[in-house]
Every structure is written in structure tokens, then in C-alpha cells.
Chain A
Amino acid sequence: MTQWEVVIGLEIHAQVTTRSKLFCSCSTQFGSTPNSQVCPVCTGMPGALPVLNRAVLDKAIALGLATHCTINAHNEFARKNYFYPDLPKGYQISQLDKPICSRGYLDVEVDGNTRRIGLTRIHMEEDAGKLVHQGSDNIKGATHSLVDLNRSSIPLVEIVSEPDIRSAKEAKAYMESMAQIVRWLGVCDGNLEEGSLRCDANISLRAKGTEALGTKTEVKNLNSFKAVERAILLEVDRQMEILEEGGTIIQETRHYNEATNSTKSLRSKEEAHDYRYFPDPDLVPIAIDRAWVESIAQTLPELPSERYKRYQAELGLSEYDAGKMTINRETGDYFEATLKLGGNAKETANWLNGDISAWLNENSSTLITSVCLMNMTRNDIAWFDTVDGIHQGMRADISSINRPVTITKGRPVADDDIRIFWNSCI
């Protein structure tokens, strides 16, 4: 029986965190009244012209540097032409053969091994608007559809990997790592529920030991880490079944339905769009010089992979703890801030992993969203002052408390108090 090798490449769309859109000054605020954040440019009014938001370039360069890409000196935007009611200009402004970044990689930890996943490119593009179907959840059965253009022209980066991924598990780990890094850099808020990170997978199978790539299918709409893994498992099974029965894979685009955990064919290769890309004449090519790249490089924070290694090498954390303490930048920074108060690394990690983590879970909160804990740096640690140690009903108490200052009852806390208190706690 043939042994099959799975070949996967992922395309991740990450919404770039900026105040204004990619080509106009409209707000990118999520969840506003439909069509309240629009202007002649992002609604495709006749005569309106795009002007590039430079902040997006800076963030794309940062992401490229963090993923070991070449930052291309000559950048060009291209028009991707297709008709859809949520695409106001009838084309999407994207990048084709002159993307901002190319040829990078990301090292991903899978089952204790490091896998290096190549990146083909990272390019910038604008998002489309959103159709809101009336009378039904999807377009089939809807009486009519409304168009919300608040999302139109929101900046995205598309991160295209090489077909280096060999399993659904690896794909999930890669997407998690990429989510971690875009959040870490502040390129993207990584909010999957709001669609800030979306993923498509190109999947094919080949007989183990052969070089030639098999016919691939593209599975779209993978909007959670779980969806990436489950959809790929499904598709690998589907393709394997066909191949084992001597059939051939049809090149097509498939849509994943998370609710039913199933995929269905959207369109075949023959029905694929011809996007008729050409350089957008409304936008001048952008030259990125060495000095520009250098200035971004200097603002790059220590990357999660570097910290992960440092926490093990210098602080003696286990792989598990180092992973947990670098899950995102807030945790890492919080961990280090706490350490500065005089804690022991291992015990601090335990405390964060244990009690704090449990409290966050119980309160459906994260370090990022918890007002209480997010603000907790040096002084705020003092909220322990009011409770009798972490073992005596602390969780119950702090869950009702909104701000650290209420816990300390307004009493100024001296550094020494904190140190003494902290040492007594652990």
C-alpha cells in the first residue's frame, strides 16, 4: 500500500492594527453601525483615489523582519479584478509580483521538535466589505442582502507559506505561532472571533519519497486554530480515500463549515477567476531603503522565540513554563515585571500558570482584557496586601474587584512593602 505524504501550504490573512484604513482616513473600529465608517474612497465613488497609509508599511516590514524575510526595496500595488457586491471598486488593491516581503521562515515547535516553515511572501492588501443576508443565514434563501462597507479597505497582510507543512497538527502549530508573532509585534490583534486572523489551506498528497507535488485543493474559511486542524484532517482523509481507490484529485476550492465540520466544493479550476492583475496606476511604487528597514529593525521587541530560549537558558524555566510565559507579550512582560519585584522565576511562573491563570479562566478574562491585571505592574502588585495570602479565598475576593487601587484602599504602597509581601506569598 502506498504511504502518503501530506503537503500543506497556508495563506494567513491578518488584519493590521491601525487607527485608519489602508487607503483613506476612515476609522477601523470594529462593530460600529453599518456604513458609518466610510468615505468616497472606501465606497469606490467615481473619481476618488487611494492614498497609502504608511503605518501599514511599517508594520508589514516589522513582521517581515521578525520572520527572516527579505524586505523588497521596490514595492508595487496591483489591482485584483473581480465583481462582487461587497467589493465597491470592482477590484481589490493588493500586491502581486512586487510584495513587501519575500523568502522568510518561521520556526515552529511541534511535539518537541523544531520545524522550519518557509514563507514565500507577505503582501499588503485591502479587505472587502461585508454582505449581511436578510431572511436567511447565507445567500441561499435570503430575500435580499445588505452591504456594509465599514470593513472595506481595512488593511490586511497576507502571509503565504511554502508547502512545507506536513500534517494538520503542524498546520495548527504554525498558525498558532504566526498568531503569537503578529500579536507580539502589534501587527494584528489576533482576534479570531472578529475575523482579524483568517486562514486558507492548500492541501495535496504525494506518495512518500516522491518529489512532484500532487494536485492540490484550497480549503477556505478556516477561522480558528481548531478549524485549521480539523479541516485539514478532513481534506487529507477525503483525498486519501480518492487516491487509494485509484481516483484523481480535482483542483478546486472547497469551503469549510465549522458548525458541521465538513467541506464542500465551491468552484473548480475551470471556474476559477482570472483576476487580470496589473499595477495600480493610482498608487506610485514605493521605494524602501535600507535606512527605513533599519529604523524598523531597531524598534523590534525581543521576539517570542528568543525569549522562550532565554527563559530556559538564563532563568532555568522548563520548556513548558517558558512556552507559557511567552504565550503572548503581555504575559511575558508581566512575568518579567513580577520578577523584578524579587520573585523566583520558577515560582513566579507557577503562580502565573496556577492561581492567576485559574482566576482569569473563572472570570473569562485574559491578561490582555482584564482591566485589573493588565494594569498590574509594580505598584499594583500590592493588591495582595488586602487578602491574607493567595491561599485564603483570594480568587473570590479579587473577582469582585475592579481596580487595584480599591484593594489597597488608596494607601500608598512602598516598594519594600511589596517585596516583603511578595516574599511572604510564595
Chain B
Amino acid sequence: MTLIHKPATELQELIKQKQVSSREVTEAFLAQIHLVEPTLNAFLTITDELALSMADVVDEKISKGHALGPLEGVPIAIKDNICTENIPTTCASNILKGFLPPYNATIIETLKHAGLPILGKTNMDEFAMGSSTETSAYQKTHNPWNIDCVPGGSSGGSAVAVAGFEAPLSIGSDTGGSIRQPASFCGNVGLKPTYGRVSRYGLIAFASSLDQIGSFSNNVTDTAHLLNLLAGHDPKDSTSLALEKEDFTRFIGSPKKGLRVGLPNEFFKHLSPEIKALYTTLINKLSQDGIEFVWLDLPSIEYALATYYIIAPAEASSNLARYDGVRFGFRAAGTSSTSEMIEQSRSQGFGAEVKRRILIGTYVLSSGYYDAYYKKAQKVRTLIKKDFDLAFEQVDIIASPTTPTPAFKLGEKTSDPLEMYLSDIMTIPLNLAGLPGLSIPCGLHNNLPMGWQLMGKAFDEARLLQVAHQMESLIGFGGRS
């Protein structure tokens, strides 16, 4: 197995044991990036120099005999909606073309401090609005399993970076499934932590009450180690919770006895017979291995998609108001008044999907419609959360397919936004409830990976990762290469 095919924790062991330097590891991934990028297009910016200089700092530390921190020296890729000081951060939008943030997101500071060389910034749906990374204003990213297929989205670039062996770890953000859905499409592990677990400071907001930073990796153990770095209270983010530091790897490797897993009927309703069969086989196998499954109902779930497409656009319409051409980013030329400048900058700077959502959001917040849409959606959101709370009184974990289908073809759904929205139907409820969830690969359909979504109680990631690791071992998909 070459370096690039190894999981992050193994790479760090090699670095610690001085069998390989952080520079060599970083160079290997950079070489892979330059080799496959012409085909995959996962990166918008590749930061070779930064990555190597960060690797050298780690190597110097080793040469001085200093101990390394967790994952130190292992490179990572970052979604392009996370602010990196003086490194282009575009949200894959023309309106932020060439934008150089004057500051680092909190998690970038964390990763720099922890010594994870930053390989570059990854492609995404414009402002994280999309499920295929096709709304990027810059390029189409291809799924390494079949380059005619989308990688999913919106964190498609970060999912492909890991799936294409361009990075052992990557950072994404998940507002309605933007980590779990591409992880499912690309066959890797994607975690969306509990809302409030990871600081959002410096994550360019799409829908503030739903956005959460998370990760992609090759296995659950790597995911847990990375969460150890990312999690924590940030005084700069009022919505991040002040909880005691915990080790998310602490239960890994000791399977939970008497594990009860809930299966919501609603998540299995709309599957095609073939896909349903795949999951039935999986459930049967895991049952034989001693895991107890319980079918249950989450009755409010059927309103989740509609609720999401009110709340997320409403928040987005306000969050994206700052792109007005006044202080940074794109400004339309040839205008003669400030209002015209703002109007033209936004008209020319935003893509169609972003405009669609700004319009929906503006509409649902308008006076006369606010109560009927936004306020009602917030009430349904509370009901959805209650459904989950009730379910978690009976079970430890809830499981479902991550997506109703495997990766679809590029261009297949771009003309039908509703069809595109439906690919997030399994992942959206969790964001509305603010709960943690992850997707692990669980099988192939037409030679494309399918994901198994595990959902946990709020701030119960340690248990979620324990169960995910347990199932990952039983499924045996982990050795992808």
C-alpha cells in the first residue's frame, strides 16, 4: 500500500516512528493531486507551499525530539467556504472571486496549531447550495468511482479529495446533508457533528441555524481523532457550546453490548426495490451479528424537506445580503448609483441556484407571509426534534440509508431543482433537529457506493462513533483499495 492509500492515523504512526517524514507524506498527496486533478477537479486552490512549509515545521519538531500531537503532520484539505487568511476563499461563487479573507476561521487556527498541513481549498456547490457540486461557478467535480457521475454536494470537492486519495482527511460543512450525502456517493466516512459542537466562526454562512462543520476520512477512527481536534467551545461563536473536552475515540474498539438501533419506517418508504434489497440484506447481516433493530415512526419527517426549504433559504437570503459589491468581492462595472451597483453586482455575481434560494427566502420572510411560512416552519422544526427525542427514548442510535440512490450522472438533475432537492431527503431531518450523524460506506449498487447513515443523540458523538466503528468492522467495506 502506498502512502496515499493509508488512513490518517496510520500515516501519523509512520511519521511518529520516523519511517516517513511529514514532508514526504505531504509531497505524496500533492503529487496525487497534480496527477488526478485534471480529471477530478476537486480543488479550487492548491496550496503546495503552505502545505510543505507546515510539514517542515512538524519535521523539525520531530528532529528536535518533541512529541507530536494527534494527527500532527497529516495533511488535510479544506472546503472553500471556510475562511483562510490571505488564501482565496470563494464559496465557488463569482461574487467572491479572488476574495482573500483578512482572518482565519477558528478551525483553521486550530488545524494550524495542531500542525496539519493544508493542501488546498476544495470545490463545492456555490455557497453550499446544491447536492452535486454542479452549481460551482468554476468547475465540475467528478466522482472517482465513475467520472461520469457527480460526487454529491455541496462538499463534493472535499469528498472527492479523500476518495481520490488526494488527501487523507478533509473538512466540509453540512447544512442539509452536504457532508453525509457526498460521503455516501464517494464511499467514505462523513461526519456532521451536533449543532454547536464545532465553531462556525469563519465558516461562510449559508443557513446559520443548520450549518455545521464536519469531516471526511477513510474510516471512523480517523473521523474520531479529527473530531477531537475540531470540537470545542469558541467564544467567537455564540452558538458553540461550552462543554468539557472529551476523547471521541474512547469507546472505539469496545462494541456496545445490547445495542438497539432504530429504523424509521419513513426513511425506507421511497426506495427502489433494488436499493431496498441492499439495505434489507445489510440489516439482516448486522442482526445476525447481534445488533437489535427496532422499526419506529418519525411522523413529522415527511414535512422535513418542505420545512428545510423555507428555513434555509430564509436565513440564506439574509446571510447573503452582505455581498453587495461595496467592501469586497465582485463589483459590477459601469453603474451610476449605489442601488444600481448593488443590484448589478448581485445579479451578475450570483448563480441561478443561489438566486432561486434568495428569492424563496425573501418571499417567506416578507410581511404577510412570515407567519404562514417561516413561523410555521419553525414550529414543524420543533415537532421534528420532538420525534427524534421520543425515538431516542427507545433506541441508542437511529439508522437509515444516507441517500435514496447512489451517485447520479453529471447534468442529470441540473434542470430539475426539485429532483435535486430530493436527494437530501434522508439527511435534512438531522440538521433541522441539530443532531449528529455520519455516513459510512455499506455496499455497492451498480459499482457505486451506498451509504449507511447513523444518527445519534445531541452531543453523543462518542457513542455514535463507537457504533459506527462497530458496524464498519462488521460491514468490512473499509479496505476500499
Distance from B128 Cβ to chain A, minimum over Cβ atoms (Å): 12
Select which of B236, B326, B328, B365 is within 8 A of A85 by beta carbon: B326
In the complex the two chains form, is B101's CB within 8 Å of A85's CB? no
Cα A83 to Cα B343 in complex, Å, equals: 10
Query: Distance in Å from the Cβ of B454 to the closest Cβ of chain A?
Result: 26
Contact of B201 among A47, A84, A278, A284 (CB under 8 A): A47
Residues 70-85 of chain A, each 1 if its beta carbon lies under 8 Å from chain B, else 0: 0000000001010111
A47 in complex: contacting residue of B82, B239, B317, CB < 8 Å: B82
For A281, what are the chain B residues with a Cβ–Cβ distance below 8 Å? 207-209, 239, 315
- CB neighbours (8 Å) of A84 from chain B are 338
Residues from chain A with Cβ under 8 Å of B314 in the complex: 278
For the complex, is A343 an interface residue (Cβ under 8 Å from B)?
Answer: no
**Would B318 and A85 count as touching, CB distance under 8 A?**
no
A40 to B323, CA, bound (A): 14
Number of interface residues of A (CB under 8 A): 30
A45, A49, A145, A277 pick with most chain B CB within 10 angstroms? A49
- Do B239 and A282 have beta carbons less than 8 Å apart? yes
Establish whether residues A282 and B338, one from each chain, have CB atoms under 8 Å apart when the complex forms: no
Instruction: Given A44-B327, A46-B322, A281-B208, answer yes or no on A276-B101 (Cβ-Cβ < 8 Å).
Output: no
Docked pose: A378 CA to B290 CA in angstroms: 85
Contact indicator B205/A47 (Cβ below 8 Å): yes
Instruction: Say yes or no: is A90 at the interface (Cβ < 8 Å to chain B).
Output: yes
Beta-carbon contact of B318 and A81 below 8 Å: yes
Contact with B along A25-41 (1 / 0, CB 8 A): 00000000000000010
Residues 274-314 of A, flagged 1 when their CB comes within 8 A of B and 0 if not, give 10111001111000000000000000000000000000000
Nearest CB of B to A402, in Å: 44
Q: Assess the A46–B370 pair: CB atoms within 8 A.
A: no
Which has the most chain B C-beta neighbours within 10 Å: A44, A46, A85, A284? A46
Task: Mark out the residues of chain B between 349 and 373 whose CB falls within 8 Å of any chain A CB in the assembled complex.
Answer: 362, 365-367, 370
| Other-chain residue from A83, A91, A284 in contact with B239 (beta carbon distance below 8 A) | A284
By secondary structure, the B interface counts as loop
Does B226 reach chain A (CB closer than 8 Å)? no
A91 interface neighbour in B207, B321, B338, B370, Cβ under 8 Å: B321
Determine which residue in A47, A81, A277 has the highest number of CB atoms from chain B within 10 A of its CB, and name it.
A47
In angstroms, Cα B374 to Cα A276, docked, is 11
Q: A46-B83, A79-B318 are in contact. Are A51 and B99 (CB under 8 A)?
A: no
Is B283's beta carbon under 8 Å from chain A? no
Asked whether any CB of chain A lies closer than 8 Å to the CB of B238, the reply is yes
Q: Once bound together, how far apart are the Cα atoms of A329 and B432, in whole Å?
A: 52
Task: Give the distance in Å from the alpha carbon of A40 to the alpha carbon of B205 in the complex.
Answer: 14
Q: A276-B362, A276-B366 are known contacts. Are A45 and B324 too (CB-CB below 8 A)?
A: no
Least CB distance from B82 to A in Å reads 7
Is B63 part of the contact surface with A, judged by Cβ < 8 Å? no
Contact with A along B168-207 (1 / 0, CB 8 A): 0000000000000000000000000000000011111101
A279 CB to nearest B CB, Å? 9
- Chain A residue numbers with a CB within 8 Å of B317 are 81, 276
**Assembly CA distance A363 to B317 (angstroms):** 55
Chain A residues with Cβ under 8 A from B209's Cβ?
Answer: 281
The contact string, 1 if C-beta is below 8 Å from chain B, for chain A 239-282, is 00000000000000000000000000000000000101110011
Interface centre among B101, B236, B322, B374 (most CB of A within 10 A): B322
A84 to B341, CA, bound (A): 11
B238 touches A50 (CB 8 A): yes
Q: Chain B contacts of A51 at CB under 8 A?
A: 235-238
Asked whether A278 lies within 8 Å of B321 as measured between CB atoms, the reply is no
Given contacts A45-B102, A47-B105, A274-B367, contact A283 B238 (CB under 8 A): yes
Q: Tell me whether A49 and B237 are in contact (CB under 8 A).
A: yes
Q: Give a binary string over B218-247; 1 marks a CB under 8 Å from any A CB, 0 the rest.
A: 000000000000000001111100000000
Is there a chain A Cβ closer than 8 Å to B304's Cβ?
no
Contacts of A90 on B, CB cut-off 8 Å? 318, 320-324
The residue on B at minimum CB distance from A89 is B322
Interface string of B307-343 (1 = CB under 8 A from A): 0000000110110111110111000000000110010
Contact B204 A88 (CB under 8 A): no
- Inter-chain CA distance A51–B99, complex, in Å, is 24
Residue of B nearest to A282 (CB): B208
| Bound Cα distance A145, B339 (Å) | 13
Task: Find the A residue at minimum CB distance from B199.
Answer: A49
Kindly state the separation between the CA atoms of A89 and B205 in the bound complex, as whole angstroms. Answer: 12
Contact B101 A49 (CB under 8 A): no
| Distance to closest chain A CB from B234 (angstroms) | 9
- C-alpha spacing A274/B315, complex, angstroms: 16
Known: A51-B235, A274-B367. A45 touches B321 (CB 8 A): no
* Residue ID in chain A nearest B321 by CB atoms: A90
Chain A proximity of B459: nearest CB distance (Å): 16
Cβ of B238 and Cβ of A284 under 8 Å apart?
yes
Which residue of chain A has the shortest Cβ distance to B361 in the bound complex? Answer: A276
- Could you say which residues of chain A place their CB within 8 Å of the CB of B239? 49, 281-282, 284
B303 at the interface (CB under 8 A from A): no
- Is A341 among interface residues, defined by CB-CB distance under 8 A? no
Q: Are A276 and B367 in contact (CB under 8 A)?
A: yes
* A224 touches B (CB below 8 Å): no
Interface pair A52/B238, CB less than 8 Å apart: yes
A147 within 8 A of B: yes
A106 to B201, CA, bound (A): 42
Residues of B within 8 A of A180 (CB): none
A386 CA / B83 CA spacing, docked (Å) = 66
Closest residue of chain B to A40 (Cβ to Cβ) is B103
Which B residues lie within 8 Å of A390 (CB)? none
The smallest C-beta distance from A273 to any residue of chain B, in angstroms, reads 10
Given contacts A147-B327, A274-B367, contact A45 B101 (CB under 8 A): yes
Complex: A283 Cα to B235 Cα, angstroms = 12
**A83-B342 CB under 8 A given contacts A40-B103, A47-B204, A51-B235:** yes
Q: How far is the CB of B114 from chain A (nearest CB, A)?
A: 20
Binding site for B on A (CB under 8 A): 40, 43-52, 79, 81, 83-85, 88-91, 145, 147, 274, 276-278, 281-284
27 contacts between A and B (CB under 8 A): A40-B102, A40-B103, A43-B327, A46-B91, A46-B101, A47-B81, A47-B82, A47-B83, A47-B201, A48-B202, A49-B201, A49-B238, A49-B239, A51-B235, A81-B365, A88-B327, A89-B322, A90-B318, A90-B321, A90-B324, A145-B338, A147-B327, A276-B366, A276-B367, A278-B365, A281-B208, A282-B239
15 new A-B contacts, CB < 8 A, other than A276-B366, A281-B208, are A45-B83, A45-B101, A46-B204, A47-B105, A47-B204, A48-B103, A48-B201, A49-B236, A51-B236, A83-B324, A88-B326, A90-B318, A274-B366, A276-B317, A284-B239
The 7 closest A-B pairs by CB, nearest first: A90-B321, A276-B365, A281-B209, A281-B208, A47-B202, A46-B204, A44-B322
